[in-house]
C-alpha cells in the first residue's frame, strides 16, 4: 500500500492551491444553505405572535352596541281604582338603546397558561420535524459525496495505468526504431492509452456535474478541480439510537399531554367583571317612556358542568393519538435496528473481502513486471501485456473501492444511529 501511495503521488499530484472538500464541511455548508432552515425563524415568529394573541385575553374588552326593538307586550301595573288609573303611564312597545359594555377576565380557569404551553409544545414539534427533514436531506448528500469520491478514485487508478503504458510506449518506440519490435505492438498500446483518455474524460465530466449539484446545495462556487477528501469515520456499534425522529416522537407526546391539560382547564369555572353604560328608552326604570342614561356594574361566574361528555370524547381522541405515536415509535425503532444489523453485516463483509486485497495486488504487480520484461525482450505481444496490466488495474481498483465502501458503510451505519459524520 505504501508503494502504491508513493506511485500515486507522482502520477496524480495535488496542487497546494487545489480546493478540497471534506464530508463534514459539505454537510455543514448544505445545512446552512438549505431553504427549509428558514422555517425555524418563521415557526418561532408564528409562536411568538400566537402567545401575544393569547395574552390579549387578560386585557379588558370593550363593545359598542345599538338596538331598536318592538315587542308584543310590555310591563303593566293594573290598579283597580279609577282615581289613580290616569296616573299610570302607558309603556310604549318600541324600545331603543345605545350602550357600551366593558368585560374584564378575573379568572379564566388557567386556559391562557395552558394554551401557551400547548403552543410551545406545537412549536417544538414543528421545529423537530424540520430537523428530521434536514437530516434526511443530509443522508442524500452523503450518497452524492461518496459517488464523487468513487469517480475520483477511478480517475486516479486510470491515471496510474496511463502512466505505466506511457513508460512502456517510450521503451517500445525505441525498440521499433531499432527494428527490434514491429509497429503494430506500439499501435496496440497507443490505442489503449487513447481509450484510457476517453474513460478519464467521461469520468471528469461526471464529477463536474456532481460538483455543480453540490455547489447549488451548499450555495458555494466550488472549483472544477475540487478534490474530495476521504473521510475516516470510527465505528461505535454499542451506542444507542439518537435519531432526530425519536425526539420528534417525544415532542409529539408532549404536545398531546399539553392538549389534555388545555381541555381540563377549559372545564374550570371562569369569573368576569363587567360594566355597562348606555342611553335608551326605557332606561333602568321600566315604567318610564323617557330616554334616560343608565349604568350597570357587576361580576359573573360562567361554568358549564355538563357538556354531554364532549371533553371526555376529546380526551379519548387524544389517547388514541398518543397510542398511535407510541406505535409509530416502536415501528421506527424496529426498522432502524434491523437496518443497523444489516449494515453491520455489510461492514463485516467488506472487511472480509478486503483482507487479501493488498496481497493480490502485490502478486498482480509482480506478474505485470514479469510480462513487461518479456515484452521488452520480444517474447510476448503487447495484447498479452495489456491483459495482465488490466488485471493489476482491476485489483488496484478493488482495493481502493473496498476501502472506500468500508468508510461509506461506517458513515451510513453512524447515520442510521443518528450520528452525522463530523
Question: How does pLDDT run across 185-220, given as a tens digit for each residue?
Answer: 889 999 999 999 999 999 999 999 999 999 999 999
pLDDT at 86: 61
- Give the residue from 365, 351, 307, 340 showing the smallest Cα distance to 416: 340
pLDDT at 14: 46
CATH number of 2-33+108-268+303-417: 1.20.1600.10
pLDDT at 121: 96
The pTM assigned to this predicted structure is 0.84
DSSP 232: -
Three cell numbers at 202? Answer: 467521461
CB of 396 closer than 8 Å to CB of 365? no
Q: Report how far apart the first and last C-alpha atoms of the chain are (Å, whole number).
A: 27
Contacts of 368 (CB under 8 A, 6+ apart): 164, 385, 388, 389, 391, 392
pLDDT at 237: 78
3 state SS of 100: strand
pLDDT at 85: 57
Spatial distance between the Cα atoms of 367 and 84, rounded to a whole number of angstroms: 138
Spatial distance between the Cα atoms of 280 and 97, rounded to a whole number of angstroms: 4
- The residues of the chain scoring below 50 in pLDDT are 1-16, 422
pLDDT at 80: 65
> Which own/partner contact pairs does 29-32 have at CB distance under 8 Å and 24+ positions apart?
29/218, 29/219, 29/220, 30/137, 30/138, 30/141, 30/214, 30/217, 30/218, 31/134, 31/138, 32/219
- Give the residue from 173, 200, 178, 175 showing the smallest Cα distance to 189: 173
Q: What angle do CA 194, 197, 199 make, to 5 degrees?
A: 115
pLDDT, tens only, 100-114: 999 999 999 899 999
DSSP 231: P
Query: What DSSP string runs through 29-47?
Result: HHHHH-GGGHHHHHHHHHH
Spatial distance between the Cα atoms of 421 and 414, rounded to a whole number of angstroms: 7
Amino acid at each position: 500500500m505504501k508503494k502504491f501511495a508513493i506511485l500515486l503521488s507522482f502520477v496524480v499530484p495535488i496542487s497546494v492551491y487545489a480546493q478540497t472538500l471534506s464530508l463534514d464541511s459539505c454537510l455543514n455548508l448544505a445545512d446552512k444553505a438549505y431553504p427549509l432552515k428558514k422555517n425555524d425563524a418563521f415557526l418561532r415568529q408564528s409562536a411568538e405572535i400566537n402567545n401575544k394573541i393569547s395574552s390579549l385575553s387578560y386585557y379588558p374588552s370593550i363593545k359598542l352596541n345599538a338596538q331598536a326593538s318592538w315587542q308584543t307586550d310590555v310591563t303593566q301595573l293594573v290598579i283597580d281604582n279609577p282615581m289613580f288609573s290616569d296616573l299610570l303611564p302607558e309603556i310604549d312597545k318600541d324600545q331603543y338603546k345605545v350602550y357600551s359594555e366593558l368585560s374584564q377576565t378575573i379568572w379564566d380557569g388557567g386556559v391562557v397558561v395552558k394554551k401557551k404551553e400547548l403552543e410551545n409544545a406545537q412549536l417544538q414539534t414543528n421545529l423537530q420535524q424540520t430537523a428530521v427533514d434536514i437530516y434526511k436531506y443530509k443522508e442524500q448528500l452523503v450518497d452524492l459525496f461518496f459517488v464523487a469520491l468513487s469517480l475520483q478514485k477511478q480517475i486516479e487508478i486510470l491515471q496510474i495505468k496511463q502512466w505505466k503504458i506511457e513508460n512502456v510506449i517510450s521503451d517500445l518506440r525505441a525498440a521499433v526504431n531499432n527494428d527490434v519490435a514491429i509497429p503494430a505492438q506500439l499501435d496496440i498500446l497507443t490505442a489503449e492509452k487513447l481509450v484510457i483518455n476517453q474513460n478519464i474524460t467521461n469520468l471528469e465530466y461526471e464529477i463536474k456535474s456532481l460538483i455543480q449539484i453540490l455547489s447549488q446545495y451548499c450555495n458555494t462556487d466550488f472549483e472544477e478541480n475540487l478534490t474530495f477528501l476521504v473521510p475516516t469515520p470510527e465505528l461505535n456499534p454499542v451506542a444507542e439510537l439518537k435519531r432526530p425522529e425519536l425526539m420528534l416522537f417525544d415532542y409529539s407526546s408532549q404536545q398531546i399531554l399539553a392538549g389534555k391539560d388545555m381541555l381540563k382547564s377549559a372545564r374550570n369555572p371562569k369569573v368576569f367583571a363587567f360594566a355597562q353604560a348606555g342611553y335608551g328608552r326605557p332606561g333602568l326604570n321600566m315604567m318610564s317612556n323617557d330616554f334616560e342614561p343608565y349604568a350597570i356594574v357587576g361580576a359573573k361566574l360562567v361554568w358549564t358542568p355538563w357538556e354531554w361528555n364532549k371533553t371526555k370524547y376529546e380526551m379519548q381522541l387524544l389517547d388514541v393519538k398518543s397510542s398511535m405515536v407510541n406505535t409509530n415509535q416502536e415501528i421506527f425503532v424496529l426498522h432502524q435496528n434491523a437496518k443497523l444489523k444489516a449494515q453491520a453485516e455489510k461492514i463485516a463483509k467488506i472487511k472480509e473481502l478486503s483482507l487479501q486485497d493488498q496481497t493480490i495486488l502485490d502478486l498482480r504487480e509482480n506478474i505485470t513486471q514479469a510480462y513487461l520484461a518479456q515484452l521488452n525482450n520480444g517474447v510476448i505481444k503487447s495484447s498479452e501485456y495489456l491483459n495482465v496490466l488490466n488485471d493489476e488495474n482491476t485489483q488496484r481498483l478493488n482495493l481502493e473501492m473496498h476501502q472506500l465502501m468500508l468508510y461509506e458503510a461506517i458513515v451510513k451505519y453512524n447515520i442510521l444511529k443518528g450520528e452525522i459524520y463530523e
